Structure 1
């Protein structure tokens, strides 16, 4: 009985399988009825992916920066290629036969059944010649798409560029919807906002005969899906200010970053040397990219986000705020300019309070400020005391957005470095003897004046000034003020507070004003007092073991209602007060007034053409 019962279930199972197969074939035949009829007439069904219209990019005044224009790609489906006359084909396209062979090989490797690009970015005249002869080459077809076109010759490092997706990316699940020949954001905003800009693909099914001639839609398009255009980006960049900044640093190496303090919106993002974004689009863009890549001036290098420098004396502002928070100094605290501790760069009045110390950038003063912040008697010996104090100092400094990625809407951002006690433990460990050498404040004091192992980016420095302008808080700097009409992404709407009480920031600002507008201030060349604009800033000269020192200057204005915070780095330019300061002053004036006063054009000439290695008279 058990044997018969078992056979019964086997027979039932076989019956169900046969029924399912029959029903499946019947359903398939009904849905694809048109396809079988086409096959009888030597027609085939072609699935065409519809690439959506990529989102546009505008500046803060809604001037169009990046748009789309139609281009054409010649595609191939390897399985459909029959008896290819390679010589004639190459003559028609004006390409070497070796290029054709390598492209066909790559197409077969990817898929014998899916289209792959053979020649991209065809012009309209090229397209006309090819279309007239395409029927003689089964398996080849034209695919129209939209390519990026630029209405600006600036902002290349922020915008990034679009290029064909690589075979390596196609293998990743994240890019499963892409096909060979499709464009994808490679760098900059194009890459960060790729899912938003790309939109949603559509699909069309068409009937074509064996010669590639369209015979109409399949089943009146009932299986087609429409593509959805990508969303537009509205940037916070001021295109006029950006162009002006690139003009000022033309021929230099360095960066300028300007931020609106109240919102965190990036107003200008200058990386010098720069390049025209048009170079990386259209036919021949690959060769132009390689030329930029091999340029010894490294124009592709994104300095505001990727170059890390010691901040120099600008960092003294952060050290002073940390010491004020810890209660080890007061606004009226004075220290002697004791050059036995560290050398001071020039003679000046006694730093009897924080304002005078900031104005004159007194190195011995800030040596003693950080010493008071780190060595607070928390351990019985100086080594352990330094270790504990430096760890607490580092945590407070990092709340200014330093030593970590800020989270800017660009993928290539570097974190910089605010060294920890563990960093110095590793630095002073003797591997040969397997011995840990002890270290004290004398080994790390260079941090007090923004030198040594510390490193920050241009964006981070501008953000520090925005934080001071806001008296203790900041929004993460960002380029996109609105995705479509929905505003910035959520992470750019969150306030970040430092570990320093907001009430303490007011004590460093008078000294910063004296740097710019005070008699003998180190940043006088950034002064806009004659134009009724108050500027608070700090100069810096960054020691460079590989050549002439780097210059830096950071500021915000107007002091009582800050609308712009700015940081300028100019490599190999010496004292920040004579090169970076006038550049910052010009940028602030340009943004706040919309123009530069005629009598100040000489400073434009100085910034663009002056010899910074010589003393300014």
Structure 2
């Protein structure tokens, strides 16, 4: 009997335990877990995201640069898509059965009861082909949105492109608020100004029947929220000038950057080779991106901000300015063209002053100018003197924005390189170098590197007689907005304004009677001030470089042109820059000889003579 009595208590304990488990589970389902409630409500109510219109972009004259075009996403709620004819669905949608299974699996991984994208960026034609069949496929519905469109084929690098947010970004707290399927800026201005362009999503709740057919709004739209469009951007770009520069650079490698000196506004930013921005939009974005990425000429690489080159002879202007500030050079200082120091590219008379030296781009002259700064006599020890001199030189040089990011409103900007004493100490040791070791810096070679953007900014600094505004691509956020405050700050160099005048006179001589006479703009009554450069290239033909500004008084445009493997600066870069300046100042190319120059440059004639 005692044995039976014990079994009774065991059985009672088991029943009590089972009952407790059921009670706990019921409490969890009804009180703690809302998934069943969500699933039940999803049978009658659908939450549809209302995507905002992304902000548009315009050029400085109000011409549309970026617009929005409608596309359609096919969304799926996995719980509602259980009972469908899968084979018919694949046939209608133009996909394979494995593709269907993969996409459904991804949707279920995200959420069983929430909608997620199944097929994206359907065109109007594709949408029309499937919309009548959607009634047969419960759980699937269309969500309208927009992608970028372009009424032109220019400015691809600067504008950038948008793409779908990645799973890794969704896990990043800095992308809080984004959802799977959302688009965001991936590069260029689209990325830099994402927070202004993106706008804010809205939500619309609709009633649906068991087949997924909409039956009207939920509670008369009481819980709906309107989407808010992104803000428009007014850029500093002159679209017609941009198109013209791209035409000149067609089939070439290099860049053109033009800046308005008085404001720092970028008028054109050309990276060659370039591509049609429409390639990176719509359904073929991924395929087109991979083609561009694998292209050996690297059309995705933005050379104006990311390529660094030796500046070549344009750097002689900086050497002169630093030397005058240091008191080792005057406008009337003469140095012989002594080939025993360094070879000179030009046969010319004795450079009796700075203007002639700039006009003739005399290498030995600027060798001696640089030496006068480095070996100024700050110390009795030759090695210590070189260190002190080079560091004093570098302090002046970096005030021009070299060896640092200028701060352009654009993602990814390289600093470039301007060496100081620590740089050479690491290579040669504290007593292993002096001026003869580093003399190549004097003519913009050796351990120097600048971006085309820095070159154009350097031209703007000279045009302004010693100061610059941070180069920027956006004039205002919103049609009546203002530039961001950081682009209204004036940055002064360490060189006094009076030292710029003899350099400017020398730059005018370069065009009128020196190494860049092909760049004259006398026929339109404009004094162009410029400087040529031929940059040594150990991998092939030399690179052609030219910086300039115009007019001489009250300058309206500063420009840098860099053409890889094109030979001397006077042959390719200088005439190209002068055509850009003429186009900007007068809206056209005025004379028949200039039009022949234009045709020759577009044809790449300079490649044939080198």
Query: For 1:368 and 1:236, how far apart are their aligned partners in 2?
Result: 41
Q: Given that residues 165 and 181 in structure 2 are in contact (C-alpha distance below 8 angstroms), is that contact kept between their aligned partners in structure 1?
A: yes
Q: 1:115, 1:180 within 8 Å by CA — same for their partners in 2?
A: no
Give the match's secondary structure for 2:384: helix
Show the 5 A alignment for 1:6-405.
39=40, 43-405=43-405
Question: Residue deviations 1:358-385, cap 9 Å, x none?
Answer: 0011111111111111122222322221
Does residue 535 of structure 2 align to residue 542 of structure 1?
yes
Q: 1:414 deviation in Å?
A: 1.3
Alignment of 1:519-538 (within 5 A): 521-538=514-531
| Structure 1 unmatched runs, 5+ | 1-21, 30-34, 430-435
Cα separation, 2, equivalents of 1:141 and 1:425: 67
What CA distance in whole angstroms lies between the structure 2 residues aligned with 1:367 and 1:296?
Answer: 38
1:475 aligns with 469
- Partner of 2:135: helix, strand, or coil? helix
Shift of 1:266: 0.7
CA shift at 1:193, angstroms? 0.6
Q: Provide the C-alpha distance between the structure 2 equivalents of 1:395 and 1:522, rounded to a whole number of angstroms.
A: 30
- Partner SS, residue 508 of structure 1: helix
- Check the 8 A contact 2:38/2:113 in 1, yes or no: no
Select which of 458, 477, 486 maps to 2:452.
Answer: 458
Is the Cα contact below 8 Å between 1:38 and 1:44 reproduced in 2? no
Partner of 1:9: none
1:577 equivalent to 2:570? Answer yes
Aligned position for 1:590:
583
- Tell me the matched-pair count: 578
Distance 1:311 1:37 in 2: 64
CA deviation map 1:277-307 (0-9, x unaligned): 1111122222112111111121111111111
Question: Do the aligned partners of residues 162 and 84 (structure 1) sit closer, same or farther apart at CA in structure 2, a change above 3 Å counting?
Answer: same
Match of 1:515 among 490, 495, 510: 510
Partner residue in 2 for 1:505:
500
- Per-residue deviation at 1:522? 0.4
Distance 1:179 1:107 in 2: 13
Q: In the alignment, which residue of structure 2 is the partner of 1:4?
A: none
How far does residue 340 in structure 1 lie from its aligned partner after superposition?
A: 1.4
Per-residue deviation, 1:38: 11
Match of 2:544 in 1: 551
Q: Deviations over 1:467-515 (max 9, x none)?
A: 1000011111111111111121111111111111122211211100000
What SS class does the counterpart of residue 365 from structure 1 fall into? Answer: helix
Q: For 2:43 and 2:37, locate their aligned partners in 1 and report how far apart those are by CA, in whole Å.
A: 9
Distance 1:489 1:100 in 2: 47
1:44-99 residue CA offsets vs partner (Å, 9 max, x unmatched): 33222221111111111101111111100112233443145432221111112232
**Residue 6 of structure 1 corresponds to which residue in structure 2?**
none
1-structure distance, mates of 2:542, 2:164: 41
TM-score of the superposed pair, with normalisation by structure 2: 0.91
- Counterparts of 1:604 and 1:373 in 2: how far apart (Å)? 42
CA deviations 1:427-458 (Å, max 9, x no partner) are 235xxxxxx66111111111111111111111
What runs of 5+ residues in structure 2 fail to find an aligned partner?
A: 1-26
Change (3 A) 1:540 1:36: closer
In the superposition, the TM-score normalised over structure 1's length comes to 0.90
1:51 and 1:406, CA in 2 relative to 1: closer, same or farther beyond 3 A?
Answer: same
- Paired with 1:370 and 1:169, the residues of 2 have a C-alpha distance of 50
Q: Does the residue aligned with 1:583 lie in a helix, a strand or coil?
A: helix
Q: Call closer, same or farther: CA 1:336–1:38 in 2, change over 3 Å.
A: closer
